[in-house]
Amino acid sequence: MFYRLGIFSAKYRWPIIIAWALVFLLSLSVLPRVASQLKGGFGDIDTESRRALDLLEDRFGTSESTLIVVFSSPLITTEDPAYRAEMEKVLTPLRGRPDVGEITTFYDGGTPSQVSPDGKTTFALVPLRLSIDEAIESFPQLEDSLGEGDLEVWTTGGVAIFSDINKASERDLRRGEIIAIPLVLVALVFVFRGLVAASIPVAVGAISVSAALALLFFVAQVTDVSIFALNIVSFLGLGVAVDYSLLVVSRFREEINRHPKKEAVAHTLATSGKTILFSGLTSMLGLSSLLLFDFMMLRSLGLGGVMVIMISLLVALTLLPAILAVVGDRVNAQPVLPNRGVGRGLWRRLALGVMRRPLVVAIPLLVFLVALGIPFLGVNLGSVWATVLPEDVPSRRGWDVVSERMGPGAIAPIVIAAQFSGDTLTEENTTRLRSLVDTLQNDPSVDRVESLISPNLSDGGTRPSGFPSDEAVEKYLSGDTTVIRVFSRFTPVADESRDLVRQIRSFDPGQDFSLMVTGATADLMDSIDVMYSAFPIAIIFVVVTVYIALFVLFRSVLLPLKATIMNLMSIFASYGALVFIFQQGHFQGLLGFTTEGVTEATIPILLFAIIFGLSMDYEIFLLSRIKEVYDSTGDNEQSVAQGMEITGPIITSGALILVLVAAAFATADIVIVKALGVGTAIAILLDATVVRAFLVPALMRIMDRWNWWSPQFLKRVIPGW
């Protein structure tokens, strides 16, 4: 099949090249509009925090999207009439917008807690009549509509923070590409020693990325796609396209010395085509596991990754052989560095040396990988907040100002929706509610509680002593539902705030009284719980489907099992490094971030989905060549040595380029993108060195003839490749 595809590509090389050139030009016309069609990546999930928010919206009109406009002055306080006048200059343009609800300030409906102890800092709550994703998308226009005054003004809160994260993500993407592309060019010239061969992978990568981004634009017209998909398309598209090109071009340079041009193309695809197909298949299986998660961001990353690998496959199997058919033996033209010849004896000697003492090599390296992963046993999964952004970003600065002057939890309360089955204002129910509020208020993690039973709002109006005031009833009670706001002394993502949510949820209010908890802390906790309830299913899906794919390719029971275990060990080691660096804070000065003492919860999931497939690429590259030699000779040891000799430079070069691309994204401002880049670079580096160069030949020698064993009935069922 692949031989015929090679003949076809060589025969119709110019129509194929012209068709892909048109695809590239059309995609370029779409690229400037891609980002505008993408969303933040949040959306609705069926969790307790979401149900509580829906209840509060129904009973109190509480908005799920709120801007927090922070005001500060070094000279005057909120008691000065000029302060209020300056605030109104800023807020008045917002008050007339149809997407803005009733604004609450200290002066109109707010509480004294909205003002700092020195009176110089305050904030306004600006509820929006928009969903979270709509609000994030509209935030730049809302921010621009603020009026001008003499006070210092920052806009913060979840909407502003996530909007700035999206903008920073776009900047990170552009910076990563600017850094990665020159590094890749230099590396390719070093690998191929000539400009013609080095330029081919770049062309393939550029077409793959631009076509995938254009496809992403059209997909975004029919379903929601997160802006973070841009990063994975750019990162994977460049890395994978270069990997595939390295394999094909390297094989073509061998075949062109033995066959005429058309035959060389056909033989190249006949051998490397199936390797690329299964490599792409395993990568897509890994990334498709992200489609199992009920999060738009994760689904979008999976969708973007699958699309770019699929397009890279199409380009590598059609355009690449067409280009080679045109170039022919000129693929070695325009040399820049001296040709090293075969120069692969080092890999043969390394493989034979390892196989002479396989246990001596394998056992220490397996212990080494396990030791690298040990820090992951102490992982503290959490979510990043404003501190994920650089300190000079307005939403981060506004959050920091409020945290420093009014407390870390001042603008992110834990919100309780409490419901009674009967009249809330009976003496029994009021007593039960007071007991809950008192318990919370006495908790050392709690700064204050605002509720129907708050002391400054009780015992007033027309109600008997000990009952809530008219003002409290109007503000905190609607039918059978009352709202309680608990302000933590810690940030929304701190362990203490999360423990406080767990404590509230464990509280037994008794019959006819129910509690649901929402707010930033609860929402982030619920999101993590939902993600990690699906993660085991995703792992099983990837491991089983990739095992089946490798069994079909190699018709071996044990080789796919060995490959899977080695991949999992590489991932475990990279997880440990991730915790060591980003949770424990080692090298934070060098990498330019400040640790929050947590590992961002999406990173292990994303790393698994990305690394499992990419690492399997190199396993397939190596084992395919070993099997090709083994089928001819039947000599296990020599087939491993020759396979290492031929593919060692390709794997090393491909891994080097992928590490360079990942390292370029490690320069990102967003800690999530930075961690993903660093984690990927570490995993690929470990896989290409420790695993492929040492563990694979050692284990192949230990397993010996069992490498290729499978029951005869399965061999009859599974076709040979």
Model confidence at 339: pLDDT above 70:
no
Give the end of a domain, one of 464, 484, 518.
518
| Residue 358 or 203, more confident | 358
- How confident is the model at residue 133, as a pLDDT? 79
The answer to whether 240 and 311 have CB atoms below 8 angstroms apart is: no
Residue 399 maps to a domain = no
Q: What is the rounded CA–CA span in Å between residue 622 and residue 243? A: 13
0.75 surpassed by pTM: yes
Main-chain dihedrals φ then ψ at residue 497, nearest 5 degrees = -70, -40
Q: State the CATH number of the domain containing residue 386.
A: 1.20.1640.10
DSSP-assigned beta bridge partners for residue 458: 468
- How confident is the model at residue 463, as a pLDDT? 44
Give the end of a domain, one of 452, 487, 518.
518
Q: What is the rounded CA–CA span in Å between residue 177 and residue 194? A: 23
Query: Based on the domain organization, do 379 and 473 belong to the same domain?
Result: no
The answer to whether 621 and 555 have CB atoms below 8 angstroms apart is: no
Taking only the tens place, the pLDDT of each residue in 302-326 is: 999 999 999 999 999 999 999 999 9
Query: Based on the domain organization, do 675 and 616 belong to the same domain?
Result: yes
Model confidence at 432: pLDDT above 50:
yes
Query: Based on the domain organization, do 302 and 207 belong to the same domain?
Result: yes
Q: What is the rounded CA–CA span in Å between residue 574 and residue 595? A: 18
Main-chain dihedrals φ then ψ at residue 147, nearest 5 degrees = -75, 175
Residue 184 maps to a domain = no
Taking only the tens place, the pLDDT of each residue in 362-418 is: 999 999 999 999 999 999 988 877 877 888 899 999 999 999 999 998 988 999 999
Q: What is the rounded CA–CA span in Å between residue 585 and residue 557? A: 42
- If you average pLDDT over each of 161-170, 182-191, 249-258, 346-355, which comes out highest? 346-355
Long-range pairs of 87-92 with CB within 8 A, sequence gap ≥ 24: 87/122, 87/124, 87/149, 87/151, 89/147, 89/148, 89/149, 90/146, 90/147, 90/148, 90/149, 90/151, 90/153, 91/124, 91/126, 91/146, 91/147, 92/147
Give the end of a domain, one of 336, 352, 382.
336
Taking only the tens place, the pLDDT of each residue in 89-102 is: 999 999 889 999 99
Q: What percent of the chain has pLDDT over 70?
A: 94
Reduced to 3 DSSP states, what percent helix, strand and coil does the chain have, rounded to the nearest 5? 70, 10, 25
Query: Based on the domain organization, do 420 and 357 belong to the same domain?
Result: no
- How confident is the model at residue 458, as a pLDDT? 45
Q: What percent of the chain has pLDDT over 90?
A: 39
Residues 164-170 have a mean pLDDT of 82
Nearest to 212 by CA among 301, 296, 304: 304
Taking only the tens place, the pLDDT of each residue in 266-289 is: 989 988 888 899 889 999 999 999
* Amino acid, res. 413: P
| Residue 150 or 338, more confident | 150
- How confident is the model at residue 79, as a pLDDT? 92
Query: Based on the domain organization, do 206 and 228 belong to the same domain?
Result: yes
Model confidence at 637: pLDDT above 80:
yes
Residue 9 maps to a domain = yes
Neighbours of 394 (CB within 10 A): 16
Structure tokens at 641: 């040595």
Q: What is the rounded CA–CA span in Å between residue 621 and residue 653? A: 12
Query: Based on the domain organization, do 580 and 660 belong to the same domain?
Result: yes
Query: Based on the domain organization, do 229 and 315 belong to the same domain?
Result: yes
Tell the residue number behind the tokens 């360079």, with chain if given.
Answer: 660
What is the dihedral sign for C-alpha 475, 481, 482, 484?
A: negative
pLDDT confidence of 499, banded at 50, 70, 90? very high
What is the dihedral sign for C-alpha 652, 654, 659, 664?
A: positive
- How confident is the model at residue 490, as a pLDDT? 92
- Name the domain count of the chain: 4
Q: What is the pLDDT of the chain when averaged over all its residues?
A: 86
CA 650 distance to own-chain centroid: 28
Residues 17-26 have a mean pLDDT of 94
Q: What is the rounded CA–CA span in Å between residue 711 and residue 557? A: 8
Query: Based on the domain organization, do 376 and 234 belong to the same domain?
Result: no
Query: Based on the domain organization, do 261 and 283 belong to the same domain?
Result: yes
- How confident is the model at residue 462, as a pLDDT? 43
Taking only the tens place, the pLDDT of each residue in 594-635 is: 788 889 898 999 999 988 888 888 888 888 889 888 888 888
Query: Based on the domain organization, do 576 and 712 belong to the same domain?
Result: yes
Q: State the CATH number of the domain containing residue 124.
A: 3.30.70
Model confidence at 461: pLDDT above 50:
no
Residue 40 maps to a domain = no
Residues 180-197 have a mean pLDDT of 79
At 69, which helix (H) or strand (E)? strand 65-72
What residue numbers bound the domain in which 7 lies? 1-33+194-336
Sequence-separated (6 or more) residues with CB below 8 Å from residue 197: 188, 249, 253, 331, 332
Region of residue 159 (phi > 0: left; psi between -120 and 50: alpha; otherwise: beta) = alpha
Tell the residue number behind the tokens 């199936």, with chain if given.
Answer: 274
- How confident is the model at residue 342, as a pLDDT? 44
Residue 638 maps to a domain = yes
- The full 3-state SS of 340-377, as one line of letters, equals CCCCCHHHHHHHHHHHHCHHHHHHHHHHHHHHHHHHHH
| Residue 717 or 353, more confident | 353
| Residue 676 or 337, more confident | 676
Residue 160 maps to a domain = no
Region of poorest pLDDT, from 91-100, 187-196, 237-246: 187-196
Model confidence at 265: pLDDT above 70:
yes
Q: What is the rounded CA–CA span in Å between residue 215 and residue 27? A: 8
pLDDT confidence of 353, banded at 50, 70, 90? very high
Model confidence at 66: pLDDT above 60:
yes
Query: Based on the domain organization, do 364 and 227 belong to the same domain?
Result: no
Taking only the tens place, the pLDDT of each residue in 646-662 is: 888 888 888 888 888 88
Q: What is the rounded CA–CA span in Å between residue 408 and residue 447? A: 10
pLDDT confidence of 152, banded at 50, 70, 90? very high
- Upper half-sphere CA count for residue 484 (Cβ side, 13 Å): 26
Residues 558-583 have a mean pLDDT of 92
- How confident is the model at residue 321, as a pLDDT? 93
Strands 513-518, 481-488: parallel, antiparallel or unpaired by DSSP? unpaired
Query: Based on the domain organization, do 298 and 366 belong to the same domain?
Result: no
Residue 316 maps to a domain = yes
- If you average pLDDT over each of 59-68, 132-141, 480-489, which comes out highest? 480-489
Nearest to 700 by CA among 647, 651, 637: 637
Neighbour-count burial of 528, counting CB atoms closer than 10 A to its CB (0-12 exposed, 13-18 middle, 19+ buried): middle
Residue 465 maps to a domain = yes
- How confident is the model at residue 464, as a pLDDT? 44
pLDDT confidence of 483, banded at 50, 70, 90? very high
Neighbour-count burial of 717, counting CB atoms closer than 10 A to its CB (0-12 exposed, 13-18 middle, 19+ buried): exposed
